[in-house]
Amino acid sequence: MKAAEFIREKTGIGSFDIAIVGGSGVEIGKTNVEIPYYQIPDMPEPAVPGHSGVLKILEFESKRVLFFEGRFHYYEGRSDSEIRFIPELAANLGVKLFIPTCASGAISRKAAFSEIGVIVDHINLLGRNPLVGLIKDYGSKVFVNGKEIYDREVSDKFLRKGLELGIKVVPVVLASVLGPNYETFAEIRFLEVAGADVVSMSTVPDVLAAKFYGMKVTALTVITNDTLNIKATHEEVLEISRSRSEELSRLLKETLKDLSLF
Protein backbone atom coordinates (compact mmCIF):
# COMPACT_ATOMS: atom_id res chain seq x y z
CA MET A 1 0.00 0.00 0.00
CA LYS A 2 1.59 3.27 -1.16
CA ALA A 3 0.22 5.29 1.75
CA ALA A 4 1.78 2.96 4.33
CA GLU A 5 5.17 3.06 2.61
CA PHE A 6 5.01 6.86 2.46
CA ILE A 7 4.32 7.13 6.21
CA ARG A 8 7.14 4.73 7.05
CA GLU A 9 9.55 6.80 4.97
CA LYS A 10 8.27 10.11 6.35
CA THR A 11 8.42 9.07 10.01
CA GLY A 12 11.22 6.52 10.01
CA ILE A 13 8.92 4.19 11.96
CA GLY A 14 8.34 0.70 10.60
CA SER A 15 5.17 -0.15 12.51
CA PHE A 16 2.70 1.36 14.96
CA ASP A 17 0.77 -0.05 17.93
CA ILE A 18 -2.44 2.00 18.11
CA ALA A 19 -4.57 4.03 15.71
CA ILE A 20 -7.09 6.63 16.91
CA VAL A 21 -9.62 8.31 14.63
CA GLY A 22 -10.85 11.73 15.72
CA GLY A 23 -14.54 12.43 15.15
CA SER A 24 -16.23 15.82 14.64
CA GLY A 25 -14.35 18.41 16.67
CA VAL A 26 -12.21 15.78 18.42
CA GLU A 27 -8.64 17.09 18.42
CA ILE A 28 -5.41 16.07 20.14
CA GLY A 29 -3.36 19.27 19.98
CA LYS A 30 0.00 19.92 18.34
CA THR A 31 2.49 17.10 17.87
CA ASN A 32 6.06 16.93 16.57
CA VAL A 33 5.14 15.02 13.42
CA GLU A 34 2.03 16.05 11.46
CA ILE A 35 1.21 14.92 7.92
CA PRO A 36 -1.72 16.49 6.01
CA TYR A 37 -3.90 13.88 4.34
CA TYR A 38 -3.38 15.48 0.93
CA GLN A 39 0.31 14.54 1.08
CA ILE A 40 -0.42 10.84 1.63
CA PRO A 41 -0.71 8.87 -1.62
CA ASP A 42 -4.29 7.91 -2.59
CA MET A 43 -5.73 9.17 0.72
CA PRO A 44 -9.08 11.01 0.47
CA GLU A 45 -9.51 14.41 2.11
CA PRO A 46 -12.28 15.19 4.62
CA ALA A 47 -15.08 17.46 3.41
CA VAL A 48 -16.83 18.07 6.76
CA PRO A 49 -16.12 21.03 9.10
CA GLY A 50 -14.39 19.81 12.25
CA HIS A 51 -12.35 17.19 10.39
CA SER A 52 -9.00 18.85 9.73
CA GLY A 53 -7.45 16.05 7.68
CA VAL A 54 -4.12 15.71 9.47
CA LEU A 55 -2.33 12.55 10.58
CA LYS A 56 -0.46 13.12 13.85
CA ILE A 57 2.22 10.83 15.28
CA LEU A 58 2.22 10.36 19.06
CA GLU A 59 3.87 8.17 21.67
CA PHE A 60 2.20 7.03 24.91
CA GLU A 61 4.59 5.17 27.23
CA SER A 62 6.62 3.73 24.32
CA LYS A 63 3.44 2.88 22.36
CA ARG A 64 3.54 4.35 18.86
CA VAL A 65 0.24 5.96 17.96
CA LEU A 66 -1.37 7.20 14.75
CA PHE A 67 -3.98 9.91 15.36
CA PHE A 68 -6.16 10.53 12.30
CA GLU A 69 -7.70 13.96 12.83
CA GLY A 70 -10.69 13.59 10.54
CA ARG A 71 -12.63 10.75 8.91
CA PHE A 72 -14.89 10.05 5.93
CA HIS A 73 -18.68 9.58 6.00
CA TYR A 74 -21.14 7.87 3.70
CA TYR A 75 -23.31 11.00 3.66
CA GLU A 76 -20.50 12.77 1.79
CA GLY A 77 -21.11 10.37 -1.09
CA ARG A 78 -18.03 8.29 -0.30
CA SER A 79 -17.33 4.88 -1.79
CA ASP A 80 -16.78 1.79 0.35
CA SER A 81 -13.06 1.86 -0.46
CA GLU A 82 -12.79 5.46 0.80
CA ILE A 83 -14.60 4.52 4.01
CA ARG A 84 -12.21 1.58 4.50
CA PHE A 85 -9.08 3.61 3.78
CA ILE A 86 -8.09 4.58 7.33
CA PRO A 87 -8.61 1.10 8.88
CA GLU A 88 -6.80 -0.53 5.96
CA LEU A 89 -3.90 1.91 6.27
CA ALA A 90 -3.68 1.31 10.02
CA ALA A 91 -3.60 -2.46 9.51
CA ASN A 92 -0.88 -2.10 6.87
CA LEU A 93 1.18 -0.16 9.42
CA GLY A 94 0.99 -3.00 11.93
CA VAL A 95 -1.61 -1.47 14.28
CA LYS A 96 -2.90 -3.86 16.94
CA LEU A 97 -5.60 -1.68 18.53
CA PHE A 98 -7.97 0.55 16.54
CA ILE A 99 -9.90 3.25 18.44
CA PRO A 100 -12.42 5.34 16.48
CA THR A 101 -14.03 8.27 18.28
CA CYS A 102 -17.06 10.31 17.32
CA ALA A 103 -19.46 12.99 18.45
CA SER A 104 -22.92 11.68 19.26
CA GLY A 105 -26.34 12.77 20.47
CA ALA A 106 -27.82 11.27 23.61
CA ILE A 107 -30.88 9.02 23.25
CA SER A 108 -31.06 7.38 26.68
CA ARG A 109 -31.21 9.42 29.87
CA LYS A 110 -27.99 7.84 31.20
CA ALA A 111 -26.20 9.14 28.13
CA ALA A 112 -27.84 12.57 28.41
CA PHE A 113 -26.28 13.01 31.85
CA SER A 114 -22.83 11.81 30.78
CA GLU A 115 -19.92 13.27 28.83
CA ILE A 116 -18.02 10.32 27.33
CA GLY A 117 -19.40 6.99 26.16
CA VAL A 118 -17.45 3.76 25.74
CA ILE A 119 -19.17 2.00 22.85
CA VAL A 120 -19.80 -1.64 23.75
CA ASP A 121 -22.26 -2.52 20.96
CA HIS A 122 -23.92 -0.94 17.97
CA ILE A 123 -26.95 -0.91 15.68
CA ASN A 124 -26.12 -0.33 12.02
CA LEU A 125 -28.92 1.70 10.44
CA LEU A 126 -26.80 3.13 7.64
CA GLY A 127 -28.11 0.71 5.05
CA ARG A 128 -24.44 0.38 4.05
CA ASN A 129 -21.55 -1.88 4.99
CA PRO A 130 -17.95 -1.22 3.84
CA LEU A 131 -17.29 -4.96 3.45
CA VAL A 132 -19.85 -5.43 0.67
CA GLY A 133 -18.22 -6.90 -2.43
CA LEU A 134 -15.00 -8.01 -0.73
CA ILE A 135 -16.13 -11.63 -0.71
CA LYS A 136 -14.77 -11.91 -4.26
CA ASP A 137 -11.23 -11.46 -2.97
CA TYR A 138 -11.46 -12.51 0.69
CA GLY A 139 -14.08 -15.24 0.78
CA SER A 140 -15.55 -16.15 4.17
CA LYS A 141 -13.34 -13.62 5.99
CA VAL A 142 -16.01 -10.98 5.26
CA PHE A 143 -18.44 -12.66 7.67
CA VAL A 144 -17.31 -10.66 10.70
CA ASN A 145 -18.97 -11.82 13.93
CA GLY A 146 -20.82 -8.77 15.22
CA LYS A 147 -20.89 -10.14 18.77
CA GLU A 148 -17.09 -10.09 18.93
CA ILE A 149 -16.32 -6.66 17.48
CA TYR A 150 -15.67 -4.63 20.63
CA ASP A 151 -12.85 -5.82 22.89
CA ARG A 152 -14.43 -6.16 26.32
CA GLU A 153 -11.17 -6.07 28.28
CA VAL A 154 -10.00 -2.82 26.70
CA SER A 155 -13.46 -1.25 26.97
CA ASP A 156 -13.62 -2.11 30.67
CA LYS A 157 -10.23 -0.45 31.22
CA PHE A 158 -11.49 2.77 29.63
CA LEU A 159 -14.57 2.71 31.85
CA ARG A 160 -12.58 2.09 35.02
CA LYS A 161 -10.00 4.74 34.19
CA GLY A 162 -12.73 7.27 33.42
CA LEU A 163 -14.25 6.74 36.86
CA GLU A 164 -10.81 7.07 38.48
CA LEU A 165 -10.28 10.39 36.69
CA GLY A 166 -13.71 11.72 37.68
CA ILE A 167 -15.00 11.80 34.10
CA LYS A 168 -18.70 11.15 33.50
CA VAL A 169 -18.21 8.02 31.40
CA VAL A 170 -20.74 5.26 30.69
CA PRO A 171 -21.00 2.16 28.48
CA VAL A 172 -23.26 2.87 25.50
CA VAL A 173 -24.91 1.23 22.51
CA LEU A 174 -24.36 3.37 19.40
CA ALA A 175 -26.89 3.64 16.62
CA SER A 176 -25.28 4.68 13.35
CA VAL A 177 -27.55 6.45 10.85
CA LEU A 178 -26.78 7.75 7.38
CA GLY A 179 -27.54 11.45 7.95
CA PRO A 180 -26.76 14.18 7.27
CA ASN A 181 -30.02 15.35 8.87
CA TYR A 182 -30.58 15.20 12.62
CA GLU A 183 -33.26 12.85 13.92
CA THR A 184 -37.00 13.49 14.09
CA PHE A 185 -38.90 12.94 17.34
CA ALA A 186 -40.34 9.71 15.94
CA GLU A 187 -36.86 8.48 15.02
CA ILE A 188 -35.59 9.27 18.52
CA ARG A 189 -38.42 7.24 20.05
CA PHE A 190 -37.65 4.39 17.63
CA LEU A 191 -33.95 4.43 18.55
CA GLU A 192 -34.77 4.39 22.25
CA VAL A 193 -37.07 1.39 21.84
CA ALA A 194 -34.40 -0.32 19.73
CA GLY A 195 -31.95 -0.05 22.64
CA ALA A 196 -29.65 2.75 21.50
CA ASP A 197 -28.05 5.09 24.03
CA VAL A 198 -26.44 7.45 21.52
CA VAL A 199 -26.70 8.16 17.80
CA SER A 200 -24.05 9.20 15.28
CA MET A 201 -23.45 9.26 11.52
CA SER A 202 -20.16 7.38 11.63
CA THR A 203 -17.92 4.90 13.50
CA VAL A 204 -19.78 1.66 12.72
CA PRO A 205 -18.18 1.43 9.24
CA ASP A 206 -14.78 2.06 10.85
CA VAL A 207 -15.16 -0.71 13.40
CA LEU A 208 -16.48 -3.21 10.83
CA ALA A 209 -13.49 -2.58 8.58
CA ALA A 210 -11.01 -2.59 11.47
CA LYS A 211 -12.26 -5.93 12.75
CA PHE A 212 -12.18 -7.31 9.21
CA TYR A 213 -8.52 -6.25 8.90
CA GLY A 214 -7.67 -8.15 12.08
CA MET A 215 -7.28 -5.42 14.70
CA LYS A 216 -8.64 -5.25 18.23
CA VAL A 217 -11.37 -2.60 18.41
CA THR A 218 -12.69 -0.31 21.09
CA ALA A 219 -14.56 2.94 20.44
CA LEU A 220 -15.31 6.14 22.32
CA THR A 221 -17.85 8.89 21.79
CA VAL A 222 -18.10 12.46 23.03
CA ILE A 223 -21.76 12.99 23.94
CA THR A 224 -22.38 16.51 22.67
CA ASN A 225 -26.12 17.06 22.91
CA ASP A 226 -29.47 15.70 24.02
CA THR A 227 -31.36 14.67 20.87
CA LEU A 228 -34.62 15.83 22.45
CA ASN A 229 -33.44 19.45 22.28
CA ILE A 230 -35.37 21.05 19.43
CA LYS A 231 -32.48 23.16 18.16
CA ALA A 232 -29.41 21.17 17.08
CA THR A 233 -26.68 22.42 14.77
CA HIS A 234 -23.34 21.07 13.56
CA GLU A 235 -21.67 24.20 14.93
CA GLU A 236 -23.04 23.45 18.42
CA VAL A 237 -21.84 19.85 18.17
CA LEU A 238 -18.35 21.01 17.18
CA GLU A 239 -18.19 23.53 20.02
CA ILE A 240 -19.10 21.01 22.71
CA SER A 241 -16.95 18.29 21.16
CA ARG A 242 -13.91 20.57 21.18
CA SER A 243 -14.57 21.58 24.78
CA ARG A 244 -14.62 17.92 25.82
CA SER A 245 -11.66 16.89 23.68
CA GLU A 246 -9.36 17.63 26.60
CA GLU A 247 -11.22 15.13 28.77
CA LEU A 248 -11.24 12.56 25.98
CA SER A 249 -7.51 13.10 25.40
CA ARG A 250 -6.83 12.65 29.12
CA LEU A 251 -8.87 9.44 29.18
CA LEU A 252 -7.04 8.10 26.13
CA LYS A 253 -3.56 8.94 27.41
CA GLU A 254 -4.08 7.63 30.94
CA THR A 255 -5.71 4.39 29.79
CA LEU A 256 -3.24 3.66 27.01
CA LYS A 257 -0.27 4.24 29.33
CA ASP A 258 -1.30 1.22 31.39
CA LEU A 259 -2.54 -0.92 28.53
CA SER A 260 -0.82 -4.11 27.44
CA LEU A 261 -1.48 -4.98 23.81
CA PHE A 262 -0.16 -8.52 23.94
Distance, in Å, from the CA atom of 60 to the CA atom of 45, rounded to the nearest integer, reads 27
For 2-257, CATH number out of 3.40.50.1700, 3.40.50.1580, 3.40.50.720, 3.30.70.1400 equals 3.40.50.1580
Q: What is the pTM of this model?
A: 0.93
pLDDT tens figures, 157-180: 999 999 999 999 999 999 999 999
Peptide linkage before 41 cis (omega within 30 of 0): no
Q: What is the pLDDT of residues 101-147, one digit of tens each?
A: 998 999 999 999 999 999 999 999 999 999 999 999 999 999 999 99
| Contact by Cβ (8 Å): 16, 66 | yes
Bigger pLDDT: 43 or 260? 43
Q: Where are the domains of the chain?
A: 2-257
pLDDT at 50: 66
Beta strand ranges found along 4-95 (DSSP E): 18-22, 33-36, 54-60, 63-69
pLDDT digits (tens, 9 = 90+) for 195-225: 999 999 999 999 999 999 999 999 999 998 8
Q: Could you tell me the CA-to-CA distances from 97 to 136, 143, 182, 256 in Å, in that order?
A: 27, 20, 31, 10
Q: In this predicted model, which residue has the larger pLDDT, 11 or 245?
A: 11
